[in-house]
Structure 1
Amino acid sequence: MQYLVTSSEMKHFDAYTSQQIGLPAMVLMERAALAIVQQLNCEQYNLLKVAVVCGYGNNGGDGVAVARLLKLQHIEVTIYLIGNPNNASQQTRQQIKIAQHYNIKINTSLPKTFHGYTTIVDAIFGIGLNRVVTDDFLHAIELINQSGADILAIDIPSGICADTGQILGNAIKAKQTVTFAYQKIGLTLYPGVDLAGKIVIADIGIYIDKPTNHFTYHSSELTNLLPKRENYTNKGSFGKVLVIAGSQNMCGAAYLSAKAAYRTGAGLVRIYTPQCNHDVLLSQLPEVILTPFIPNQINKAQLEQLINWASVIVIGPGMGVSDDTYNILSQVLAYSTVPIIIDADALNTLAQDITLLKHAQATIILTPHLGEMARLTQLSIETIKNNLIKTAEKFAEANQVICVMKDAKTIVATPKQATYINQSGNNGMATGGAGDVLTGIMAGLIAQHLPASKAACLGVYLHGLAGDISANKISKYSMLASDIIDGLTDILNSKAK
């Protein structure tokens, strides 16, 4: 697990390290500057002529210290200070005083252009920025972005909100960002992650005294995250997945979900789908158990037997919004005691009557994309996009469900637990059927006795990793949902040994 921090959490850890542990703030600042200079040297930046553009907060103090260390390497470096010197932090005042003694060029006004500088270090704003950038700050960002120089941002590109990744007016587009101690949430979400360039996390000795409220996974953890498989087992040992999916002559979504569940390790998968899909599905996936129904003639007793058979239930892919979908969803929610994954048209059906959730006895996972989330919450897509984490967390808490909000960086919010922010995957996965594969992966993990909250996070992560494998093999342009399943096989083959 890799911790992700908000600006307030990072400030708390910083203060705790200085005030409770006793590591002075100036020592932390010096270590931050050393980490920046090391990166500039290791990454072979062109350091023929360097500008360090600083505000008067502690981020600016880091920048002034960087300039001094570069000067000691006999590099031509100039500091540009922006803002009101009366607002300078104590540490930044001290760093400016030191820089003056080292005879470093310090300008308190911006140049007409930064052309001619080979590298620019962005130290204007740190993680505390919570307002739209204006005036000299805005002008400085514009000049830096137009310079043509390589740009390294300290902690976070100036102009990016550390908690949401949103651009506050305008923002630095960096070649690289060196962030300290822990990854900031704003560096994991778009557009912040795009503007940050290559992200390096530098350990400067900041101490964490409590877990954070957000996390992600790293590939080195995958082997330990996967469910364990004992040797003395049978197909029943690895669970039974019921996939309720498909509609008249539409069975692709059912196929993808069912196959993904099998490929993830489920022991048995049964598809409940309209009779007309029977032959096609069996020819494509002979391993699956097929239980067909006749549209508009749902046998409630039969459906109840299937609910009782299952270890986990997927409902929604390709079903369409219809009376059958509503009636089946209602019965599943009312009678199931095993985890339920609600996806696609079951979500659109739920949006018409959210009170159906009140009848649920089981753990519920909802997997909305932004459009489906807008229908569920009655919020605009733009509002959701600007508040991804809070929207998912509030919805999960209000409805006591696990909310897997699908986006370029998918969020998994679980009541009373830390929120997962996914970092795997790519834009080639924006293709029809990719969501159906995700539901099948999560179901396969739950079938193997992984708790639903962990299965949701791991399922999203695996899904993205499988997409990354497929992108490398096929290209992002050519990827199909079925290729993600093939990528999943490759991932599990390499990690689950």
Structure 2
Amino acid sequence: MKIVTAAEMREIDRATSERFDVHSLTLMENAGASVADFVLSHYSSARRIVVICGRGNNGGDGFVAARRLHQRGKHVQVVLLADPAELRGDAREMFSKVPVPVMAVHSSEEWKTERVQLTLHADLYVDAILGTGFKPPVSGLYAEAIATLNASTTPVVAVDIPSGADADVMGHQTGAVARANAIVTFTVPRPAHVFGELTDGPTYVAPIGSPDEAITSSLGLNVITAKDIAPLVAPRVPDAHKGSFGHVLILGGSVGKAGAAAMAGIAALRVGAGLSTVATAKSVLPTVAGFHPEVMTEPLEETDAGTISTRALERVGKLVEGKTVLAVGPGISHYPDTTEFVRKVVANHHTPIVLDADGLNAFANHATELNGSERPLILTPHPGEMARLIGSTSTAVQHDRLNIARTFAREHQLILVLKGHRTLIAQPDGTVWVNTTGNPGMATGGTGDILTGMIAGFIAQNPERILDAVLAAVHLHGLAGDVARETVGEHSLVATDLLKDLREAFRRARERAMQKLVRI
């Protein structure tokens, strides 16, 4: 799903009306109806609902939501932060249809009166004060209303965006911004919806009538949704067999790090790969084989340190034959001879390659050797590994994640998965996808190995849809982490919890893909 600026969103609305003959009143009606439907499904027990409206189109959406909620039997109070005579255009039209009394508040002083404060007692607030067209700072009456929302413990559903937020800001918001327990925005998200930490709850995007042809953006940014990955998690055809879903070969493991390769191997199977083989240093093989009987193993020549040796290159050449995808790096170590082995494997083979962990570190000071133009190459660095690839620091990477990911992917013609909060997936053409699933509990050893196996497993099943496979793996990886957090919490979460909860992650992704409102 595309991410657009506030100005681009205005142009989308204009084009929808002028070029595609969808009246602006229809867009507003659909927007308000979506908010009402969300409230009815997610806050069904709320009996008294206060809808606080500004004088612009965001307020117009609120008027529609109020009418719809009233029609469904809710006790609705509309509070207008303006004189009704100030309303214009579509907002004025929707105000005329509000079927309940409206309390108009004209000043900060009036807002503080007992009459108004008593009216605000509610089970739920709907924040329809300011939308994504607003530019901070907010002041006066609107600021007072926002302060009241923030001081209250009553749940708040934001219409379009929490009032006071700058829709184009990708980082920390400044000034007065209303808190929100949930957000319902429209058509496509703006940068703040994805990067802005505007709510601890869900953000949903409601389609309100704009056709895909009207949705254009100069940002080159997309957010992964369940709808984007739906074809890759759909039920299988009845006559499928293991050969239908590819064969993953994982090169990794060393003395003390056998678990990393084993986790990658089973993760590939857990997302649906037909076969998974781990090729590892021969002294480590019994340990790797002991984790999961479903994962096949192959012994490789090793160094004195118990790591894979360059003497294994010929054997690996034979093992790669017939494999759909190659994953290199989990637990492989940075022993000098092993580092040389990694670089030669990447240089010599044209099978799609997923490169992670010390497989990435092998290219510190050798990043020019990384080129995905001859075969798909997927890199999955965390900020520290990314820093080593570009000769920088993890702090510098974190300060400029988007540009660094985009530039590296474009220069090296590969897919770069820059892990972290809001993992970025950068394409060779510079387009970037943002993942919103996942949580801090996943900041624990082994989750990256699980992701490597998942990416390889999805590529094995979808070799002609490499990007889609990566998107699906990243999204479900984070979603499995979110499921795990619900049962074990963030502090106790370990990497293999993700494997246990992939089944539920798949189920939720399928369910969300079927819903009208799109969760981001």
TM-score past 0.5 threshold: yes
Q: SS of 2:183's equivalent?
A: strand
Say whether the 8 Å CA contact 1:152–1:175 is kept in structure 2.
yes
Q: SS of 1:365's equivalent?
A: strand
> Hey, what does 1:32 align to over in structure 2?
31
Is 1:415 equivalent to 2:423 in the alignment? no
Which amino acid is the alignment partner of residue 181 of structure 1? T
> Hey, what does 2:452 align to over in structure 1?
439
Is 1:452 equivalent to 2:466 in the alignment? yes
Say whether the 8 Å CA contact 1:317–1:343 is kept in structure 2.
yes
**Do the aligned partners of residues 12 and 478 (structure 1) sit closer, same or farther apart at CA in structure 2, a change above 3 Å counting?**
same
Which amino acid is the alignment partner of residue 20 of structure 1? R
**Do the aligned partners of residues 277 and 141 (structure 1) sit closer, same or farther apart at CA in structure 2, a change above 3 Å counting?**
same
Q: Distance in 1 between matches of 2:291 and 2:76?
A: 66
Q: Distance in 1 between matches of 2:299 and 2:68?
A: 71
In structure 1, list runs of 5 or more residues that go unmatched. none
Return the match for 1:141 from 138, 146, 156.
Answer: 146
Q: SS of 2:81's equivalent?
A: strand
> Hey, what does 1:12 align to over in structure 2?
11
**Do the aligned partners of residues 39 and 298 (structure 1) sit closer, same or farther apart at CA in structure 2, a change above 3 Å counting?**
closer
Q: Distance in 2 between matches of 1:188 and 1:371?
A: 23
Say whether the 8 Å CA contact 2:272–2:458 is kept in structure 1.
yes
Return the match for 1:248 from 255, 258, 279.
Answer: 255
* More off after superposition, 117-126 vs 64-73: 64-73
Return the match for 1:153 from 154, 158, 181.
Answer: 158
Return the match for 2:208 from 204, 209, 229.
Answer: 204
> Hey, what does 1:298 align to over in structure 2?
310
Q: Distance in 1 between matches of 2:139 and 2:391?
A: 37
Q: Distance in 1 between matches of 2:185 and 2:399?
A: 23
Is 1:262 equivalent to 2:269 in the alignment? yes
- Post-superposition shift, 1:275? 3.7
- Post-superposition shift, 1:251? 1.1
Say whether the 8 Å CA contact 2:80–2:102 is kept in structure 1.
no
In structure 2, list runs of 5 or more residues that go unmatched. 511-520
Is 1:123 equivalent to 2:128 in the alignment? yes
Q: Distance in 2 between matches of 1:261 and 1:199?
A: 30
1:409-448 CA-to-partner distances (Å, cap 9, x unmatched) read 4332323486443344444433321110111111122223
Say whether the 8 Å CA contact 1:252–1:318 is kept in structure 2.
yes
- Post-superposition shift, 1:339? 0.8
Q: SS of 1:257's equivalent?
A: helix
- Post-superposition shift, 1:291? 2.3
Q: Distance in 1 between matches of 2:270 and 2:66?
A: 54
Q: Distance in 1 between matches of 2:290 and 2:162?
A: 53
Q: SS of 1:209's equivalent?
A: helix
* More off after superposition, 479-488 vs 302-311: 302-311
- Post-superposition shift, 1:189? 4.2
Say whether the 8 Å CA contact 1:335–1:361 is kept in structure 2.
no
> Hey, what does 1:174 align to over in structure 2?
180
Which amino acid is the alignment partner of residue 302 of structure 2? I
Which amino acid is the alignment partner of residue 495 of structure 2? A
Say whether the 8 Å CA contact 1:52–1:64 is kept in structure 2.
no
1:301-328 CA-to-partner distances (Å, cap 9, x unmatched) read 3444444564311112223334234312
- Post-superposition shift, 1:95? 7.0
**1:344-363 residue pairs with structure 2 within 5 A?**
344-358=357-371, 361-363=374-376
Q: SS of 2:370's equivalent?
A: helix
- Post-superposition shift, 1:380? 6.4
> Hey, what does 2:81 align to over in structure 1?
80
**1:10-409 residue pairs with structure 2 within 5 A?**
10-37=9-36, 43-44=43-44, 50=50, 52-54=52-54, 57-63=56-62, 75-81=76-82, 91=90, 104-109=103-108, 111-112=111-112, 116=118, 117=120, 118=122, 119-129=124-134, 133=137, 135-136=139-140, 140-162=145-167, 166-169=171-174, 170-184=176-190, 186-189=192-195, 191-194=197-200, 197-209=201-213, 214-218=222-226, 222=230, 225=233, 231=239, 238-286=245-293, 287-295=295-303, 297-299=309-311, 300-308=313-321, 310-358=323-371, 361-377=374-390, 389=402, 391-409=404-422
**Do the aligned partners of residues 20 and 112 (structure 1) sit closer, same or farther apart at CA in structure 2, a change above 3 Å counting?**
same
Q: SS of 1:318's equivalent?
A: coil
**Do the aligned partners of residues 51 and 362 (structure 1) sit closer, same or farther apart at CA in structure 2, a change above 3 Å counting?**
closer
- Post-superposition shift, 1:332? 2.0
- Post-superposition shift, 1:333? 2.3
Percent identity of paired positions between Structure 1 and Structure 2: 31
Q: SS of 1:192's equivalent?
A: coil
Q: Distance in 2 between matches of 1:400 and 1:227?
A: 33
